[in-house]
Amino acid sequence: MIKQFKNNSTGSARLSFLLVMLMLVMALASQYTMKARHWNHYYPEALVTSLSDLALQAIPAQIKSFSAGVFRITADEYMHIGPSKKTKQNFVAGSFAGNTEIMSLLELSVILEPTNMEMYAVMSQNLAFHLNRFHDAIELLHRGILANKRSPDLHKLYMAGAYCYGFIKKPSFSSHEEVKKNRAIAVNYLNAAISSYLKNEYRLTPTMADDFANLQNYYVLQSRFLSDIGKRELALEAWNKVTAERQKSYLGHFFTMVQQKETAMPEFPDDLLTPEYKSLFQVSTIRMPYGATAPYRFWLVDSTNLYYLTIYARGLGALSLLEKDCPQHQAALEASETSIDGINDPFPKLSDCGHDHSSENEHALHQQQTTGADQDQDRDHTHISLDHVCGPECEHERHHENGEECQHCASAKSWKQAGNSVMLQGILMLTVAVLIRKFF
Amino acid sequence: MTAKPCLLEQKKLDMNMNYIEARVSCITSIAWYSFIEALRNRLFLGVLLLALPFTAAAWNIDVYQLGFQTKFISDAGLTLISTLGLLVVLFFSLDQIIPDIERRTIYFIFTRVPSRHTYMLGRFLGIVATLFCLHVFMSGLLMLIIRLRADAWFTEIPIAGLIIFLKQSLLVSIVMLLASCTSKIITVSLSVLIYVIGHGLDIFRMLAEQSGNFVFAFLLDLAAIILPDFSLYETRIMIMHEIPAQTSALLILAFYTFSAIIFYLAIGGAVLKRRDL
């Protein structure tokens, strides 16, 4: 009786389980059939033009977003690593410019998550300005615009289009007719960006604020491009919308000249900036947002390379960039006593290479490592002369072997340290294995 | 008076030698047939064929015709090798002990095998041989593709292949240990769990130390003695920065892998020995 009851209950449990599974399958099937037939109601912003697009819609958004994030992080890592040493690649570490390795990853990221605005801007600028694929860049932006028609951030994509058209040809290198033609198109994009911004202004949250893609910058660019294409009245009108603080600039000087109807007016405002271009460079204040990575990650490589890897782990890019492309660094190394380029303390805290030049008699590596770090750590570091060339055999390199005690070098634990613990663990395991084999 | 003990010692030595020879022969036979069995398995062919769509995808995603991207291809290639190796480990290691027990063929094997440890070691070596073939083939292919397209030898790739092979051999021993005492589903679940924990153990330890939770850090340190540390087998930095691995570090890694494998197989053998089949 009990057995029969058990059999019956097992049978009914199986049946109900199968029924639930069947219903679940039917629910999913009907849901996706509905979505496929009436996609414009479910995915009003999704571009469904082919079967693969439709298949992509069937993947849960969280999974797509996660994968896209992984691709973006990998692309960022590639950007920091830079070109391959063995093959000729025409880009540098620490910059997206001209980096061909990242493009496939970013493309995948955009396919999986078409709503990520930042990627369109990075990709389009890379394609247009560094990879000689201007039309691909514009096509990509159009794709982005179509996929984000209702997004409050849509103005950023129009802005990216305006930027591409506006600066692909420059008065210094191209014919003025060509520049004017492109900037006329750029004005259209800017108009679209401004109207999109104003239309969605109430939806913009503080987190969406962008240092570059904002209304004030749009007016500045609009006035400049309008002036370039000869519509100076409209340019002045746009310029008047720019805040008084922002008007104090070379462009402001140009428009003052326009208002005063100067006779010796340059055709482009760019012409006023020519002497300034030479001395202009940007100051980076980017600090790494993450802490030291796990020490074992580096244990397989030679300690010779720890010097480079520490720099990489600190998110400061390639050594070549830090040492060669930093004019301050070079100048400081050549003449420590004189001020750099005749400027007295131009950047007291951080320079463009991301490290502190204020105490120039410190070792080059330690300088950039100690920026922003606890100053107490400096006491552990040896101060050496400027003409010294650093190598793994140096005395002061030994502090890397302090491992976890030294915050600067926590990410660069040497193979000897990691190797010791690994060897100990190995010996312990082997001993236990022999004991098990003997007694069990 | 002295001749007899010598003769006895000689006989004892001969017996020992015969015993070792028989044991090695048993291990080799089991390993060989496990290897052949794995190669004949259609699943293995399927796993290898999986590489084709992935390879095709590498060309397809070059939307902007930017050419061959060395780092991307080597990174993706090694990820693929690692993933396929993992599939081989999970599918084929499970097919070694549990089906033998379920089909009762293990009794026939035990009639010819001196101990259950020998059986386990033989099965383990069979899977390791399969893995080795897979890694040699895939790493060689990847290096050749990069040589043809980028005109440079990337010797880091076979080294990375070797490191991945060592890592997966260690995982095979863990799967064998689990398969000797649990069912299929539990073996798969625990193997994946150990694999994930093994990769993140040093990060968890670091986080525990940073947060000042010394009890948790101590517990994690204890766990780190027993559990494998898969983060030691990190090849990404080496490949991405094109930095050759040190021979001494590789030797230490090989020693660690060997010790850990022997440790897990010894436990597995002991468990299987005491198990009522």
**What mean pLDDT do residues A247-256 have?**
82
> Which B residues in the span 53-72 are in contact with A, Cβ-Cβ below 8 Å?
61-64, 66-67, 69-72
Q: State the Cα–Cα distance between residues A394 and A388, nearest whole angstrom.
A: 10
- Predicted confidence at residue A358, as pLDDT, reads 44
Judge: B243–A305 Cβ closer than 8 Å, yes or no.
yes
Residue A80 pLDDT > 60:
yes
Closest CB to B232: pick one of A101, A291, A299.
A299
Judge: A418–B203 Cβ closer than 8 Å, yes or no.
no
**What mean pLDDT do residues B146-169 have?**
89
> Which A residues in the span 23-52 are in contact with B, Cβ-Cβ below 8 Å?
none
- Predicted confidence at residue B112, as pLDDT, reads 77
Q: State the Cα–Cα distance between residues A127 and A382, nearest whole angstrom.
A: 46
Confidence of residue A290 (pLDDT cuts 50, 70, 90): very low
Q: How many CA atoms lie within 13 A of A31 on its CB side?
A: 10
Closest CB to B61: pick one of A108, A301, A436.
A108
ipTM of the prediction: 0.77
List the Cα angle A5/A9/A14 in 5-degree steps: 150
Least Cα separation, residue A228 to chain B (angstroms): 32
Q: State the Cα–Cα distance between residues A255 and B137, nearest whole angstrom.
A: 68
Judge: B249–A428 Cβ closer than 8 Å, yes or no.
no
Confidence of residue A192 (pLDDT cuts 50, 70, 90): very high
- Predicted confidence at residue A206, as pLDDT, reads 84
Task: Give A99's contacts in chain B (Cβ within 8 Å).
Answer: none
Judge: A440–B274 Cβ closer than 8 Å, yes or no.
yes
Judge: B63–A104 Cβ closer than 8 Å, yes or no.
yes
Task: Give A133's contacts in chain B (Cβ within 8 Å).
Answer: 64
**Proportion of chain A above pLDDT 70, given as a percent:** 61
A372: left (phi over 0), alpha (psi -120 to 50) or beta: left
Q: What is the pLDDT of residues B4-39, one digit of tens each?
A: 667 778 888 887 778 788 888 888 888 898 888 888
Q: State the Cα–Cα distance between residues A124 and A141, nearest whole angstrom.
A: 7
Task: Give B202's contacts in chain A (Cβ within 8 Å).
Answer: 294-296
| Residue A168 CA, distance from chain mean position | 21
Q: State the Cα–Cα distance between residues A119 and A156, nearest whole angstrom.
A: 11
- Predicted confidence at residue B259, as pLDDT, reads 93
**Proportion of chain B above pLDDT 70, given as a percent:** 96
Higher pLDDT, A399 or B136: B136
Task: Read off the tokens for A336.
Answer: 């420590």
Task: Read off the tokens for B2.
Answer: 């002295």
Residue A404 pLDDT > 50:
no
Domain boundaries, chain B: 11-57+67-274
- Predicted confidence at residue B2, as pLDDT, reads 56
Judge: A425–B225 Cβ closer than 8 Å, yes or no.
yes
Confidence of residue A371 (pLDDT cuts 50, 70, 90): very low
Judge: B210–A291 Cβ closer than 8 Å, yes or no.
yes
Q: Is A65 on the interface with B (CB under 8 A)?
A: no
User: For chain B, how are helix, strand and coil distributed in percent, rounded to 5?
Assistant: 85, 0, 15
- Predicted confidence at residue A302, as pLDDT, reads 56
Q: Is the pTM of this model over 0.90?
A: no
Report the amino acid identity of residue A9.
Answer: S
User: Which residue of chain A is at minimal alpha-carbon distance from B200?
Assistant: A294
B171: left (phi over 0), alpha (psi -120 to 50) or beta: alpha
Task: Read off the tokens for B128.
Answer: 């390791």
Residue A152 pLDDT > 60:
yes
Q: Distances in Å between the alpha carbon of A196 and those of A142, A145, A148, A153, A204? A: 15, 11, 12, 8, 11
- Predicted confidence at residue A31, as pLDDT, reads 76
Task: Read off the tokens for A179.
Answer: 């520049």
Task: Read off the tokens for A375.
Answer: 């100053």
- Predicted confidence at residue B128, as pLDDT, reads 93
Judge: B71–A131 Cβ closer than 8 Å, yes or no.
no
Q: Tell which residue, A363, A348, A237, A207, has the closest CA to residue A283.
A: A348
